[in-house]
Every structure is written in structure tokens, then in C-alpha cells.
Amino acid sequence: MPLYKTIKPHANTIIFVWNIKDSLSKLSENIPLSDNSIERLKHMKSEIHRRGFLSVRHLLKEAGYTDHDLYYTKNGKPHLRDGKHISITHSYEFAAIIISDREIGIDIEKNRPKITRIASKFTDYEVNFEEQTEVQIEELTVIWGAKESLYKIYPYEGLTFKNDLEVTPFNLESNATTAWIKSTDWNKRYKIQFEKIENFTLVYAHDHFN
């Protein structure tokens, strides 16, 4: 079973990480889908995307839910029918969900040099293009993941990654930092935690500070 790991950062928050190794047909076994999910799956052109989508449904099963317990708002934010908060992510070989009774967001990204080319679009981080080190790539991936996680928390539309989301400077060894959502209708600080999983970076945001 490709359940990679579980993380429990707090008593009422849990993360499930899935290593996407199985075929599409294998992932489709014993996973009942809602009519909406069946339609969404039909329209996904990428097999990687379809496998990620089904892996998330396996993670829901690990958490004691089914696809029918999940619904989306008009702006695409996922919710659980029992009122708990959920955030979802998948990228290439990994998928993850985080469930809590508090505001949470999660993101997993592959560590790739490509991120240095788009850094100016989401951060003021100064990129040394002549020396694109592994550390630099990982730091930028954490910043992107933190902002993606915050974006998933924000219940409305209109946030910009560069202007409305702010990540406090950090070092990779700390595995944690803080960040802000700063907009006209939202001004709140969140704790950011992150860890490296193989050649990926998992980042999650929450408002637990104790």
C-alpha cells in the first residue's frame, strides 16, 4: 500500500501522504466516486492528474471518509460535510491531504531549478542565476508552497502571491516559519511547517502557535 506517511502536527490536525505508484486501473479499485467526481475524471487529459485525483480519494479513505463526504465551493475550495477543514495537493509521485478543525492549507512541490525563473512573480527573494544551488531551489520551493497553502486557506478570490501573501525569512534547518495573509478583508498570521520528502517539499499552514 503506497500510504507513504502520516504526520500529526497537533491533536486535532492530521496529514496523510500517498506515494503514487499504482496504475490508474489499480487506483480505481474499491473507490466509489460521486457523479461529479466521475465527470471531473472523464475530462482530465493527463494520466498523472487522474492518478493524483484518485490517490486523494484513497487518502480520504485512510482518514475515514469517502468521496461523497467531499464537496467544493464555487471558487474551487474543498470542504468536508462534517464541518472539518480539508486541504488537498498532488504533484507527480505524491499526493497529500490535511484535515483539521482549524484553518489549514497544504502543498507539495517537486524541487526543480525551474522555480528560479519564476521567482520574481511571487517573491522579492534575490535569485543568483549564476549559482542556482540546491539550497536556493529548496528555499524558493518552501516560499511557493507556503503561499500556495495560504491561498488555499483564503475563502475568497483575488489574492496575489507577491503582494498579499508574506513569508517571514527562515532557514531550512528550522523546518518552520510564519506567514501572513494581508488583504483588505483579511489580516492574519499563520504558522508554516515544511519538510523534504525525497526530491519534493511538503509545506502546510495552520493557525496553531502552541
Whether residue 201 is predicted with pLDDT greater than 70 in this model: the reply is yes
Q: Please state, in angstroms and rounded to a whole number, the distance separating the CA atoms of residues 111 and 69.
A: 32
- In eight-state DSSP terms, residue 125 is P
Q: Sorting pLDDT into bands at 50, 70 and 90, what band is 67?
A: very high
Q: Please state, in angstroms and rounded to a whole number, the distance separating the CA atoms of residues 49 and 53.
A: 6
Average pLDDT for the chain: 93
**Taking Cα atoms as reference points, which of 138, 136, 191 lies closest to residue 167?**
191
What distance separates the 2 farthest-apart alpha carbons in the chain? 51
Q: Please state, in angstroms and rounded to a whole number, the distance separating the CA atoms of residues 15 and 52.
A: 16
SS percent in the chain: helix, strand, coil, step 5: 30, 35, 35
Instruction: Give the phi and the psi of residue 44 in degrees, each rounded to 5.
Output: -85, 115
In this structure, which topology does domain 3-102 adopt according to CATH?
A: Ribosomal Protein L22; Chain A (3.90.470)
Q: Do 3-102 and 109-206 agree at the fold level?
A: yes
| pTM for the whole structure | 0.94
Residue-wise DSSP of 67-82: GGGEEE-TTS-EEETT
pLDDT in tens, 97-153: 999 999 999 999 999 999 998 999 999 877 766 567 889 999 999 999 999 999 999
pLDDT in tens, 168-183: 999 999 999 999 999 8
Q: Please tell me the predicted confidence (pLDDT) of residue 74.
A: 87
Whether residue 210 is predicted with pLDDT greater than 90 in this model: the reply is no
Instruction: Give the phi and the psi of residue 203 in degrees, each rounded to 5.
Output: -130, 140
Architecture of domain 109-206 in this structure? Alpha-Beta Complex (3.90)
Integer distance in angstroms from the first to the last C-alpha of the chain?
34
| Sign of the alpha-carbon torsion through 189, 190, 196, 202 | negative
Cell numbers representing residue 122 in the block: 511571487
Ordered by start, the domain boundaries in the chain are: 3-102, 109-206
